[in-house]
Structure 1
């Protein structure tokens, strides 16, 4: 085997998992495709000790720190296939290079599927955002909108008035029920039924939205809860079980971040129904701890001097 553990994905979750393992003197390979979900954001917020630091800088710091450990190896490339082999797993990159390991930690993340409305994609991660805890402070005290994409959008609209006056755009589809309507009214939320058809302003800034009836609503920020899908086919190839999360499929894991496939762990957004950078990093730590624990159980005679 090329490594004790192979970590697929080099963002918050993957790097956090790898760090625990190399500190446990285990041989670790990280396959890093360098296309993290948060690459559209200029800064990561709410991350303890790193508030306001860009995702790219956090990655470079993490990479530099990980490579201080002699048992760490980082390969830049896209993992395209994964399969079980005798004693472990074989992962093949798009380049054709293959690596083997006794255990796998999948931290391949999610892809966001944004509504097909002109102007949204150009502002994603800047003035069109999803999480108020990640980016809401920077858009505070402006007129804000929530674009409905699911039955959860009304709940999101009830949160946003803490950051600024809020309009909930139902898109004519996700209308609040009587209880939700009463709560939104108490929160001072304006409910708009006409669909948003265009986001306006000089991107990445946002000045407002145009509605189907040609009215323009002035806004300084727009919240969108995108549908999500797996960013990589590896979990499906390996036979991991999924369940339906709030916005898309989630890999089923136990409290130790083990998937339904023995020897395969999942960490980060792909395994967390609630998602942000800190939760991703925490789940990576759990996966790293427990991959190490299982290796020790399988090879109790191994001692540190052999590492």
Structure 2
């Protein structure tokens, strides 16, 4: 059996629609999530509307986990798949957070087509902001890049100019919002540059507190270390989605979850086979000394976790 603990706070909750998901183009994120919950329960799974407070090994033999929920319930699980996503830390500018997901956007692949041929702006927040502006230029001939506090190298200015992206110097003071929509970008000197949409690169912060508490290893970028099936360095713990892959779109997260599910199922089957073999040997020998401890899959399995035996 499978239990899905859903805190009801997805990263894309503020977005009016999602793109890049074949056959679901333009679907509101909440609608896709509702369909997923319905399918889970339809196959006998349980959706628990709560938040995970913590998890620890269930017993001295290291098998299974006790998962503590904010509402007081405790779940026992043989395997964990952590898909807690990430949070976007936005620049601290008045008007920006209130329009996030509406006409303050991030991904040109998710929302570029919808705002094509309109006045667009790109706010400089990090090294990749210039590249973001060059991508946005594919969707409109009227693109303004606001370096804000970001310094531009000579070759970056040349690239922006060559592509027809106008650079407006000066620190951004606030966004001008009126009538429930973005109207422009106001600079510190009082200049207002009219824009219909502003693209911003937020800072991605993984919601990895549970993984850290469980002792999962991380790579040089600070992300949870996992193999291609989402298996982490901590036995019996898998990951999928933005918590391990900040660039993953919805369709990528779904794919990663599917791969992890296949690996987890194989791991559970392997455990049951090992237990059955141990019990059979014990019965044949007439005592319980032959009972094999439930372990990880064999080395010849194509789904063997890259980290198996490492900890």
- For the Cα contact (< 8 Å) 2:86–2:243, is it kept in 1? yes
Q: In structure 2, list runs of 5 or more residues that go unmatched.
A: 277-311
The equivalent residue for 1:193 is 169
The equivalent residue for 1:291 is 264
- For the Cα contact (< 8 Å) 1:83–1:89, is it kept in 2? yes
What's the offset of the Cα at 1:232?
A: 5.3
The equivalent residue for 2:51 is 78
Residues 240 and 203 (structure 1 numbering): CA distance in 2 closer, same or farther, change over 3 Å?
Answer: farther
1:185-238 Cα offsets, whole Å, 9 max, x none, are: 221111222111111122641111001111111111011111122335211111
Task: Determine the C-alpha separation between the residues in 2 that align with 1:187 and 1:293.
Answer: 51
1:240-294 Cα offsets, whole Å, 9 max, x none, are: 223465xxx4222111111121111111111113121111111111111111122
- For the Cα contact (< 8 Å) 1:127–1:204, is it kept in 2? no
Partner SS state of residue 284, structure 1: helix
Partner SS state of residue 158, structure 1: helix
- For the Cα contact (< 8 Å) 2:86–2:246, is it kept in 1? no
The equivalent residue for 1:202 is 178
Tell me whether 1:282 sits opposite 2:258 in the alignment: no
Specify which structure has the bigger relative contact order, considering alpha-carbon pairs within 8 angstroms and separated by 6 or more residues: 1
Of 222, 245, 249, which aligns to 1:272? 245
Task: Determine the C-alpha separation between the residues in 1 that align with 2:16 and 2:179.
Answer: 14
Task: Determine the C-alpha separation between the residues in 1 that align with 2:16 and 2:246.
Answer: 24
Tell me whether 1:160 sits opposite 2:136 in the alignment: yes
Partner SS state of residue 199, structure 1: strand
**Count of residues in Structure 1 that have an aligned counterpart in Structure 2:** 272
Residues 185 and 243 (structure 1 numbering): CA distance in 2 closer, same or farther, change over 3 Å?
Answer: farther
Of 180, 199, 204, which aligns to 1:223? 199
Q: In structure 1, list runs of 5 or more residues that go unmatched.
A: 1-26
Give the structure-1-normalised TM-score.
0.84
Tell me whether 1:69 sits opposite 2:54 in the alignment: no
- For the Cα contact (< 8 Å) 2:148–2:169, is it kept in 1? yes
Range 196-205 or range 264-273, more displaced = 196-205
What's the offset of the Cα at 1:132?
A: 1.2
Q: Whose Rg is larger? A: 2
Of 75, 81, 96, which aligns to 1:99? 75
Residues 87 and 302 (structure 1 numbering): CA distance in 2 closer, same or farther, change over 3 Å?
Answer: closer
- For the Cα contact (< 8 Å) 2:204–2:246, is it kept in 1? no
- For the Cα contact (< 8 Å) 2:125–2:149, is it kept in 1? no
Q: Give the aligned CA root-mean-square deviation in angstroms.
A: 1.8
Tell me whether 1:300 sits opposite 2:276 in the alignment: no
Range 235-244 or range 158-167, more displaced = 235-244
1:131-174 Cα offsets, whole Å, 9 max, x none, are: 1111122211111111111111111111101111211111132x
Tell me whether 1:180 sits opposite 2:156 in the alignment: yes
The equivalent residue for 2:66 is 90
The equivalent residue for 2:212 is 236
Residues 166 and 179 (structure 1 numbering): CA distance in 2 closer, same or farther, change over 3 Å?
Answer: same
Task: Determine the C-alpha separation between the residues in 2 that align with 1:49 and 1:302.
Answer: 43
Give the structure-2-normalised TM-score.
0.83
